[in-house]
Structure 1
Amino acid sequence: MAMNEKSLAYFLVVAERGNLTEAAREIGISQPALSRQIQHLEAETGRDLFDRSSRRRFSLTPAGRLLQKRAKSLLGFWKQTQQDLQAAGTVLSGTIRIGCVESSVSADLPAWLMSFQSLYPDATFTLSTGNGDRLRDMLDHGLLDLVILLEPVETARYNCVALPISDTWGILMRSDDPLCQRAELGAADIKGLPMLLPGREIPLNDLFDGLGIRPEQIVVKGSSDLISNSIPLVLTGQYYELTIRGAFSLRPDPRLTFVPLFPRHTVRHVLAWRKNEQLPQLAEEFTRIMRRQQEES
């Protein structure tokens, strides 16, 4: 039996449940039949996908974890392809899968989506939030059609539309911190502070260079993809967070204050998608409209 959509879907259920009986009950087939499906899949891949040393629970082997990641991408790709084929040649409909960084662009995205749906009422969308690295990975694996990122973006790999929205880097801290009295914070102010960094490294090197700070002068205590996870840590007064103003403005808290860096470091946003790949019709139309709007503005 060749690896197919059904066998991968069954594998993912077993991987999630860790138990053949529970997985078979969820799928709606007998346990022996499900066991044969998994055995055929292991025979085809030539690898043990599950560690069966425990009678009660299955755990994934390294090969199983790799297949789990790839299977999720493949099933998502197949599902989207089916939707695209159904929509091809008909009134534009379907779902656009958009990823967006946590920033000030989030305030403008609703207007863009509502405007697009006023033109195409049958269009729907799914939104994913994350840092740039996670969103690019999802885009590269076919889990997203479009992403909104902070610059810099690798233009050799992605098509981009520059968006007229920028954000400013700064430090988030408790509002009773003496540093809150400063209009801006320079290198001397932030050296030695217990810092939480965003989960994206490439632009941070440029940021530190602009401030005249070497990476080893930053006391890194941790990192966080989303500011919603790190705000409770900053509220303890034991941490400072390097972030952009727009991320904090999405969920302002009077107990916290954002102070911009000096020299000011401003970053722009771009709408990006993979080069040399055919976008679904709906996503392609969205990029066309966004490009036209930016050219006319």
Structure 2
Amino acid sequence: MTLTQLAYLVALADSRSFTRAADAVGVAQPTLSRQLRVLEDEFGAALVERGGREGVTLTPAGEVVLPLARRMLADADRARTGVAELIGLRSGRVRVGGTPSLCIGVLADVLRVFHEQHPDVRLELVESGSQPLVRSLVRGELDVALVIVPTAGIDTALHTTPVLRERLSVASPASDRAPTTRASLTIHELARRPLIVPRQGYDVREATLQAYADAGETPRFAVEGGEMDAVLRLVEAGTGVAVVPDLVFAGRPRLRRTVLTPALYRTVALARRADLAPTHAMQAFRDTLLSFLADLSAGDNLPGDVQVLRRPDPLPG
């Protein structure tokens, strides 16, 4: 069994076609087919169903091997990257994940600062919900990610460092009249207003709908779906209101923030795989993130009700 053969299996599972898989890995189709046969002989079982109407599909044995193959390939890639850092062939790579609201609210600035400090480190960014990010971390497709905790699957597989606690508040157009004469809104009052929520998979969407359910209310949806940027633009345009994390209010004068009562909070953590030691580049990213958040907190530049939970480690001596 070789890593190359496992890479061929992964490409085949992703493309469902021998032709497309061969193109993806840059070999001739007969070569890919021959190596896959060798791999099947090694396992003593067929890994793919050939000639089906829906293209190539995995057999039950193939479904067992596939996640292990993805993980082995990711671990091998990490090993190459780590050794390359140590011997000075290149300065490393960090694959970073973040939820859309965190990408808007803090991660974009952190990546800018990190790139200024480490211009030779290659940065790759993935924007998604916490559960998909957790799965990508476990499969080795990401190095670190900012996720909302608790999240399913995070307890045993990942090491997490809580870094932020932020409140969820109601966003409404600053050009309109305030949604209440008081400084806060209840869910019962919010339920009388048209609501904008992001697409499924957003942590803030689930928290909002759960708050409605707990209060025995049914949302009056104005718009469902879209990314966080679209949600904020719809609010600014006066289409409705939205429940959003306090971090996104920074630099958006066209939004009015009104707090919810009872308060809704969420905790943000920096997560990585627990069974792997961080590379030098990953450690540098962590240090940059914590220093950036500490500077924001010290300068009173955090919007709304946002608290920094973890400070940078003190310098030795």
TM-score, length-scaled by structure 1: 0.69
Q: Which residue of 2 aligns with 1:160?
A: 161
Alpha-carbon shift at residue 94 of structure 1 (Å): 0.5
- Paired with 2:44 and 2:132, the residues of 1 have a C-alpha distance of 28
| Aligned: 1:187 with 2:187 | yes
Q: Which residue of 2 aligns with 1:282?
A: 281
Matches within 5 A, 1:1-297: 2=1, 4-24=2-22, 27=25, 29-43=27-41, 44=43, 46-54=45-53, 57-61=55-59, 64=62, 67-90=65-88, 93-103=91-101, 106-152=104-150, 157-160=158-161, 162-163=163-164, 167-171=166-170, 181-182=179-180, 184-191=184-191, 196=197, 199=201, 214=214, 217-218=217-218, 226-228=227-229, 242-247=243-248, 260-275=259-274, 277-288=276-287, 290-291=289-290, 294-295=311-312
Indicate how the Cα distance of structure 1 residues 208 and 47 shifts in structure 2: closer, same or farther if over 3 A, else same.
same
Q: Which 5+ residue runs of structure 1 have no aligned equivalent? A: none
Partner SS state of residue 142, structure 2: coil
Which one-letter code corresponds to 2:148 in the other structure?
L
- Paired with 2:84 and 2:99, the residues of 1 have a C-alpha distance of 30
- Paired with 2:216 and 2:225, the residues of 1 have a C-alpha distance of 19
Q: Deviations over 1:81-135 (max 9, x none)?
A: 2111111254881111211122256444344334444443422211111112222
- Paired with 1:202 and 1:215, the residues of 2 have a C-alpha distance of 17
Alpha-carbon shift at residue 264 of structure 1 (Å): 3.2
CA RMSD of aligned residues (A): 4.6
Alpha-carbon shift at residue 49 of structure 1 (Å): 2.1
- Paired with 2:49 and 2:173, the residues of 1 have a C-alpha distance of 47
Alpha-carbon shift at residue 278 of structure 1 (Å): 0.8
- Paired with 1:97 and 1:24, the residues of 2 have a C-alpha distance of 26
Does the 8 Å contact 2:84/2:90 carry over to 1? no
Instruction: Tell which deviates more after alignment, 127-136 or 211-220.
Output: 211-220
Partner SS state of residue 272, structure 2: strand
TM-score, length-scaled by structure 2: 0.66
Partner SS state of residue 141, structure 2: coil
Which one-letter code corresponds to 1:199 in the other structure?
G
- Paired with 1:243 and 1:175, the residues of 2 have a C-alpha distance of 15
Does the 8 Å contact 2:171/2:235 carry over to 1? yes
Partner SS state of residue 181, structure 1: coil
Alpha-carbon shift at residue 10 of structure 1 (Å): 1.9
Alpha-carbon shift at residue 190 of structure 1 (Å): 4.2
Does the 8 Å contact 1:105/1:246 carry over to 2? no
Q: Which 5+ residue runs of structure 2 have no aligned equivalent? A: 295-310
- Paired with 2:253 and 2:72, the residues of 1 have a C-alpha distance of 41
Partner SS state of residue 33, structure 1: helix
Percent identity among equivalent residues? 20
